[in-house]
A and B are shown apart, each in its own frame.
Chain A
Amino acid sequence: MPISNLTALRRRLAVRGLTPAAGIPESRGGRTEEACIRPARLVEDVSLHCRSVGKAESWPEALAFLDGVQRMELVAYAGAAPIYVAGIAAAVRERQGDRLKTVTEDRRRLVIARPRALDAAGDALTGLATLALPEDEPPHPVRDLTQAARALDRARGQLELDVGRRFRLGSDCWLVVDGSLAESPGWAVDIRTIGVSKNHATLPFEGADLERYLRLPLGHRTSIFAPPSRSVAPVHAWALRLWAWEAKDLFHGLVRIEVAPANGVPATADLLSRWLLAERAPISTPDPRWDRLLYGIHSVEQYLRARAGALA
């Protein structure tokens, strides 16, 4: 998803005495998250158990997928402070029959920089939404990059929320969200929304429970637990193994499912898990995360990248 027409922008910035720059920050992927353990509270068993969910069952009704993409490019330095231009986009693709169709989407272009750098740029950036970086510490190109990436994550997350909300206004069909539901109080209570998270930077257990969690057999789920409500909304969750991990990696095929607390009951967890198992195929290769990336989510990502001009 290259951001188009930056050359003219760089020229305008140069005219205003800034140092034009070009570069795509390395962390171009998804959200940045620090690895940690945040112990969760079991709501189903007294100690973590692995339960077979039964055979895969196809989703009985329409199903939609929500995801977003982001991309950031360096365009100039105001002194030592970098100025980034970023593009974010989010969409919902709904399965009608067996075909996915985009039903809601949105995209934005942003400038991310310290306010002073933005001032220096003057009217070169007119027309672009801005995201200001904190100025409590002196400019540091590397640290500012981390900050910008975080800000962009948040903006992208916000856009996903907006798009999801817009979709919800017109449809009450099941919606699978890429990642955690805990970002939004709306989602956290939406009984037709499911978060499927492939990121295990934050783990909910330690010790023997963690070992059991990570060695969850194929077609099994863990006991339902409630992650600590570190962010906005409390949800219920469990882990589900989509593909056999043995001989591969502990994380192979391991996803964390998040639902509104109302859905956090064993029967529902089993049912949703069976439905999700059916979503393993078609597999989303050539994406290297295909063991955890549902095809529907993959399709949204492909769509958004293609719309931005290139299949990144």
Chain B
Amino acid sequence: MAKRTVDVAVIGSGPGGLAAAIAAKKEGAGNVLVVERDVEMGGILLQCIHHGFGTEILGADLPGPAYAQRFEQEAISLGVETLLDTMVLDITPTRQIVAASESSGLLEVQARSIVLAMGCRERTRAQITLPGARPAGVYTAGMAQRFVNVEGFVPGRRIVILGSGDIGMIMARRLTFEGAKVARVVEIMPFLSGLMRNYVQCLLDFDIPLQLGHTISRIIGRRRVEAVEVVQVDDQWRPVPGTEEIIPCDTLLLSVGLIPENELSRNVGVALDPVTGGPYVDERFETTMPGIFAAGNVVHVYDLVDWVTEAGYVAGKHAARFAAGDRAGQLDYVRLEAGENVRYVVPHVLTRDQLPGESIKLQMRARQPIEKPVWVELRDGEKRLIRRAERYARPGEMLTLVLPERSYEDVRQAETLTVNVLER
């Protein structure tokens, strides 16, 4: 088996992994290696051909592949090494990586630190229990995106989409561009799950009907999808009898959410948060295993790729410092808890004595929508450390609270901090 040693190994070459590799190099790491199972770098962005990437950190409105290519080129020019078409099979607590590729077989890499950047995958039919036959013609929206945008094949002519997530809405427009008819988008929640911008520019613009508070109760068709049955649901998600409607279609796309991809993390013993589906991390994106960091959608599903890149920079920089031996003994943590109307907050803990010399972003999702002005606040019991006003809070849009350096002293005094999202 081929063997080599590197300072920082990054698993995955999406925007999270590329940013981590770039930052690790800039922090002075000698060998930085990116291992990617696909034959090209860039991750999922290669199939996201629509605009909307880079508005926050590049000040440009780019399509996904163009965004990815900028970071790929920067990584290469900094001397980041890559192993493509190579799948990581296992990592060990001592940070050995076992990978396989068709051309060189099994290989082993010993890394001083590792950045997990495997991204996320889509929820599938098995995870949402959709009754009915199992004919051909049911795909996730992301599979359809790859078919249409990379492989050049349009999966159907008349389409129903379950879920109002962004990928589903973007595919509704894309399939319309390719001459297909999108008969309906069906959402079980009483509110849109993706961004309003996508609702306007992907559905309204092309008169594609959206039905909130409805779900698909049955798939009809023996070999190929012939129709779906749509039904209204009550506030407990129970079908309301008598509201069934049959919609003829040859294809059903599922856009019902993304889950962080953490097989490798679980196997090595990294503790995972059941709420986010990703590792517990501190503000440097270190997981519960020393020297194993995580960046991007592997941690929690972001809504903007720009923030994935930023998270990658933080993880990569600290992975490089760890590789350089910058660690004295055990770390002591301050817990960060999701309080009122907060589903989760990342990071999960803050290091009491190692807080970096830069402000820290606390990113969270609200549990329930509040269509009124809100405060996003950080508290230590009775004491409020910081707060920020927002015009509203919605589960589909991540909220950010920046922890400034001047609050670090308060953080160090605390046992547990809580974030809340409250009506103003």
Chains A and B are bound partners? no
Interface residues of A (CB under 8 A from B): none
Chain B residues within 8 Å of A, Cβ to Cβ: none
